Amino acid sequence: MVFSTNASGSSLDTVYSMIGANSVGPITWDDATWILTSSFIIFTMQSGFGLLEAGCISSKNEVNIMVKNLVDVVFGGLSYWMFGFGLSFGTSDYSNPFCGIGYFFVDTTDDQMGIVFATFVFQMSFATTATTIVSGAMAERTKLTAYVIFSFFNTLIYCIPSHWEWASNGFLRTLGVVDVAGAGAVHLVGGVSALVATLILKPRLGRYDKGSKPPALGNPVSALIGMFMLWWGWLAFNCGSTFGISGGKWKLAAKSAVVTLNGSIGGGAIGILISVIRYRGKYDVSCIVNSVLGALVSITGGCAVVRPWEAIVIGALGGGLAILSIFVLDKLKIDDPVGASSVHGTCGAWGLIAVGLFAKHDTLENTTMGRSGVFHNGGFYLLGIQLLAVVVISVWSAILSLMILLVLRFTVGLRLSVEEEIMGADYSEHMIGHDTMVTQMLQDYVQETRGAHLERALSVISGRGVECGPHNVEDFGKEETNGKKKRTEQNKCVTVRRGSCISRLSYQISRNLLLKHDKVAPVHNNGGEIPGQTDVL
């Protein structure tokens, strides 16, 4: 590998420069210990994301979403080792303001081993986090095969903005952008990609059949535990981004801890207040969780350069923006099951802007490169650079994620079939069944109808009146009741054909189908029959 050299002719000095270490002082062995320890804690955020996402969706998809979080590390980590780290922090003569060149298939010599490997582990934890953000937005309706491929190539989306912001020759860095822990390079990238994914995938079956009100959390306890694990990991995320503890870096790390906690406190407080007002004295779990996480995202960009009381303001505004953004997207019928595009996208943008407003010149390690924000008499230059970063990172993330997802959509396919989505990805992707009568009924139904040219009508609750081949609504009701009181007079029916089972109603079928399918008896005692007993087999 060929390295460029600076005035001293030292390739090691060049490595320090390319990773941006020149702005935080030289890296020592105890700095590497801090960096590695922070990286290991950040890695536990994968568990937090998994539990949070599993708690926000239905139980029939919770195993699948945990597997997707594993995929983020396996395939996202593989691609980051192969080419992602090199495109971010490569140091060859061909490195430029757009991307780095070098360090592909990461390995190095003994004299550079500590700094290169420590940086790689730390940055890989960031890269996999950016991908994991997208998994929640794609939950409950995405093929695992397509997601594996997306996870591998999503590294391309992350590694270029990280070069822009953190490599010493990145074009945003040379202009003076300040993003201490990745509000832009990690969270805005992930949030924009998540929004593009939700737009391409379209809503889950039946999501907006009854208006825009979000469904109940599948497991609120899991969502809360996931939030606490993310909270814990975020402290390492932000404090570790001082990139060491030598010199004045340990002071910035301590400040980052206080600022991060204060920001999350401000967000949690505003989330509880909004919940109490909106739900008339009730404490909505999703509202509280999203406000805390939105606040944490918001404070990520400036955790080392804003004051504690300012962090409370930034966090409170971030928490409110997260809840508002989720509400607006639901009104627009953009289905994001965990609110990833709002929490990470909206609040990531706000986090960058907040630096331009609240940042104060860092005299310890010159993190802000001599500049301050608007509220500290720094003028509008820093704010302008932060706004530029929001625009270019958003455009880059949207275009790249759109290209990757469209290729997947027209090749391997992105979305599960209607039958698979109704049964759940745990069963269709992992052969894991749930011991419920309804799920078993659906499995039997799909098995019976698979391969048939024309099967009996399937009763559904939503949708328009559709012709049902040889049957009509009245005849179907008479045929199925066998002398009993008609149960299907008010139902509509569709014809089920080979290869496209109920595909015509793919976005109209309500999840109430699971409970109101003709094979499921009423829950009340019907004429002395056993409640829950199947009427028609």
Instruction: For 172-201, write each residue's pLDDT tens digit.
Output: 999 999 999 999 999 999 999 999 999 999
Best-predicted range by mean pLDDT among 97-111, 269-283, 471-485, 522-536?
269-283
Q: Residue 436: which pLDDT band, with cuts at 50, 70 and 90?
A: low
What integer pLDDT is reported at residue 460 of this predicted model? 38
Q: Residue 431: which pLDDT band, with cuts at 50, 70 and 90?
A: confident
pLDDT of 213 over the 60 cut = yes
CA-based angle 119:357:365, to the nearest 5? 40
pLDDT of 500 over the 70 cut = no
What integer pLDDT is reported at residue 524 of this predicted model? 44
Q: What is the mean pLDDT of residues 417-425?
A: 89
Q: Residue 423: which pLDDT band, with cuts at 50, 70 and 90?
A: confident
What integer pLDDT is reported at residue 23 of this predicted model? 42
Q: Residue 3: which pLDDT band, with cuts at 50, 70 and 90?
A: very low
Q: Residue 441: which pLDDT band, with cuts at 50, 70 and 90?
A: low
pTM above 0.85, yes or no: no
Q: What is the mean pLDDT of residues 1-18?
A: 39
With beta carbons less than 8 A apart as the criterion, state whether 343 and 286 touch. no
pLDDT of 30 over the 70 cut = yes
CA–CA separation, 286 vs 266, rounded Å? 16
Helix (H) or strand (E) holding 493, with range, is strand 492-494
Q: Residue 113: which pLDDT band, with cuts at 50, 70 and 90?
A: confident
What integer pLDDT is reported at residue 534 of this predicted model? 39
Judged by DSSP in three states, 468 sits in strand
Give the tens place of pLDDT for each residue, 373-399: 999 999 999 999 999 999 999 999 999
pLDDT, greater one: 298 or 520: 298
What is the DSSP code (8-state) at residue 235?
Answer: H
pLDDT, greater one: 208 or 475: 208
Give the tens place of pLDDT for each residue, 301-331: 999 999 999 999 999 999 999 999 999 999 9
Strand positions, DSSP E, 107-243: none
CA–CA separation, 385 vs 334, rounded Å? 30
pLDDT of 497 over the 70 cut = no
Q: What is the token pair recorded at 437?
A: 């009568």
What integer pLDDT is reported at residue 11 of this predicted model? 47
CA-based angle 391:384:185, to the nearest 5? 45
Q: What is the mean pLDDT of residues 157-170?
A: 94
pLDDT of 151 over the 50 cut = yes
Q: Residue 109: which pLDDT band, with cuts at 50, 70 and 90?
A: confident
A 10 A CB-CB count for 225 gives: 17
Q: What is the mean pLDDT of residues 128-157?
A: 94
Judged by DSSP in three states, 432 sits in coil
Tell me what the pLDDT averaged over the chain comes to.
81
Q: Residue 110: which pLDDT band, with cuts at 50, 70 and 90?
A: confident
Q: Give the end-to-end CA distance of the chain in Å, rounded to a whole number.
A: 69
- Residue 208's Cβ-count burial label (10 Å; 0-12, 13-18, 19+) is middle
- Residue 86's Cβ-count burial label (10 Å; 0-12, 13-18, 19+) is buried
Q: Residue 247: which pLDDT band, with cuts at 50, 70 and 90?
A: confident
What integer pLDDT is reported at residue 438 of this predicted model? 53
pLDDT of 409 over the 60 cut = yes
Q: Residue 471: which pLDDT band, with cuts at 50, 70 and 90?
A: very low
Q: Residue 212: which pLDDT band, with cuts at 50, 70 and 90?
A: confident
What integer pLDDT is reported at residue 504 of this predicted model? 36
pLDDT of 161 over the 50 cut = yes
The rounded radius of gyration (Å) of the Cα atoms in the chain is 26
| Closest-CA residue to 20 (of 366, 373, 307) | 366
